[in-house]
Every structure is written in C-alpha cells, then in structure tokens.
Amino acid sequence: MSFFIREDPLTGERCIIASVRSRRPHLLREVVEEEPFQCPFCPGNESLTPKESFRVDGDSGWLVRVIPNKFPAIPHMHDVIVDSPDHRTDVDSMPHLDKLLWTYKERLVYYYNQDSIKYVAVFRNRGRSAGASIPHPHSQVLALPFYPRRFLKERDRYERENRNVLGDLMKKELELQERVLSVSKNFVVLMAYAPVTPYEVWIVPKEQVSSFVFESRFEELAEVLKDTVSLLKSFLGEGLPYNITFQSAPPWDRDYHYYIRILPRVAVFGGFELETENVIVSVAPEEAAMELRTVKYAGKTELK
Ligand SMILES: [Zn+2]
C-alpha cells in the first residue's frame, strides 16, 4: 500500500492517494443501459427534439446535430450536441470525431460572441453514473455569466506565480516520464498528478494555446483522444462511465494553457468528499500509468 498527500499544481487542491491493490476498480462489468422507447437523438426522430441550431452533414445524412437543451440549466445558453447518428458508438469508434471537436470550437466561438458571457463549459458525459440521462452519445455546451470556481483557482495560480503553470508541469512530467502515457506531434497525454478520480487523464497541447477557440489540429487531437479512451476502456471495461471536460479560457484571456480531462467514474464520492471537498483516490497516478502502458504494449504485440 502506498499513501501520500498531493497538491494539484494548478488548483492548489489537495488529494489523498491511498493505493491499495485489492481496492482497484479495474475490469468493471459493462453497464447495461435501459433503452428509451424511442430515442430522441436517433436519425428519423429529429422531430422529437427542438429545432437544431447547427449541423454537420456527411455523405448520407447528418453526423453531428446541435440542439437547444430541452431542460436548460440557463435558458438559451445550453446546447445538447448529438455526437453521432449511431446510438451505440463512443468517441473511440467515431469516424468523424475531428468534426465533433470542430463543432465544440464553433459553439465556443458562438457563445463567446454573446454579451455578458464569461465562460463556456464544454463537456461530455458517458454512462448513467457519469450523468448521461440518455444513452445516445451526446455532449453539452453551457455558457455562463460568471467564471467557474476551478478556472478562478487556476487563473489565480498563473497570476500569483507569473508563469505558465501547466506548461511547466508538462515539461517536468516529460523529464520524469513517470506519468506520461503517450506523446504525439502536438499533444502530451498524462495521468493527472493529483487526480480527482482514479485514472484521471489529461491531454495537453505541447505549445501554449490558451483556449480551445484557437485550436485547429482536430484530426491529430481526434486520434489522440480515440487512442486514450480506447486504452482506458481496454483496462477498465468497455462500458466504462466517464466524463470529458475542456478546461479552456475565454478568448480574451491569453495567459492560460488549455487542456482536456478524461475522468473515469470508477469511484463514488462519499461523506468525506462532501464534507471536505477533498478526495481520496485509490490508485496512484504513476501506478495507473504503468498499468495502462502494459495494456498498450500488450495490445501492440498482439497486432504483430
Ligand atoms: Zn439513439
């Protein structure tokens, strides 16, 4: 058993890592979703949803649809994005994932051009325990008239330390190689140093890009995201519930370094987390990196 307390260099939040092999949450059983009688996001059922505000078309019908959320957290500021016409797919098997990522960017640009919007959240919930109420693959975009807590905490660190905190962390991680999962031309994939969930992964652009609004390398990013999600699933189970979040600054804030988080929902928050707003994580990130790398290399050997 290993035990230590870590502070997230970006937010200053502490987490307890209490790594016990027997408590590992790997190889989850596939979550069986209850099927709705008629899926409002499947092709042919478009009339069941509000009229779309944006759409990406393919050779045989739409690939991505953006519709106003029927139950918005904030009226007129909350999109649902139907990620794919395929009810059973996920990001690791979505041929047009690059176009979905581009759609996120387009929606960010759209909302940041509205008056009084401070921050636009883009996220994707997969599986009931990750907050997805409809099993059909979808994402959400929610524009806020205030800066969210996590972003404020991070910005505070950037300002106080007067440096690119994430950029420096990434350089250190690349030297150490303890928590690095993969490196592509423009992106580094890392296990989070002080995670919120076991197996939390970050995808970080190598060069500083402050906001996803300025991203354009969607094909490469789609490949990186596919490989990472597929790796997590091959280790934690095909039915893995997880969230993807885009930690990205508004376009007027150029000092930030955006990144994407993948948060497997293999642990449930209990009283401790609610009382303290700190978390206990049952797998050390460097052990998680080692386990995932083993799966990755085992997979490669099989392909030969
Ligand atoms: Zn469907």
Spacing, Cα 87 to ligand 1 middle (Å): 4
| Inter-residue contact 78 to 102 (CB < 8 Å) | no
User: Stretch 186-201: mean pLDDT, rounded?
Assistant: 97
pLDDT confidence of residue 24? 64
Average pLDDT taken over every residue of the chain: 92
Q: Is residue 34 part of a domain?
A: no
The CATH number that applies at residue 293 is 3.30.428.10
- The parent domain of residue 179 ranges over 2-28+39-303
Give Cβ neighbours of residue 7 (< 8 Å, ≥ 6 apart): 13, 14, 194
Number of folded domains that form the chain: 1
- What single letter denotes the amino acid at residue 50? P
Q: Is residue 33 part of a domain?
A: no
pLDDT in tens, 39-98: 999 999 999 999 999 999 999 999 999 999 988 888 889 999 999 999 999 999 999 999
Which residues have a beta carbon within 5 Å of ligand 1, which is an ion?
Answer: 39, 41-42, 87, 136
To the nearest whole percent, how much of the chain has pLDDT over 90? 81
pLDDT confidence of residue 129? 86
CA distances in angstroms from 134 to 168, 196, 267, listed in the order given: 39, 25, 21
Spacing, Cα 276 to ligand 1 middle (Å): 39
User: Stretch 146-171: mean pLDDT, rounded?
Assistant: 97
| Inter-residue contact 264 to 129 (CB < 8 Å) | no
User: Stretch 230-251: mean pLDDT, rounded?
Assistant: 96
pLDDT in tens, 20-29: 766 666 555 5
Spacing, Cα 96 to ligand 1 middle (Å): 17
Ramachandran class of 288: left when φ > 0, alpha when ψ lies in -120 to 50, beta otherwise = alpha
- What single letter denotes the amino acid at residue 144? L
To the nearest whole percent, how much of the chain has pLDDT over 70? 93
Q: Is residue 129 part of a domain?
A: yes
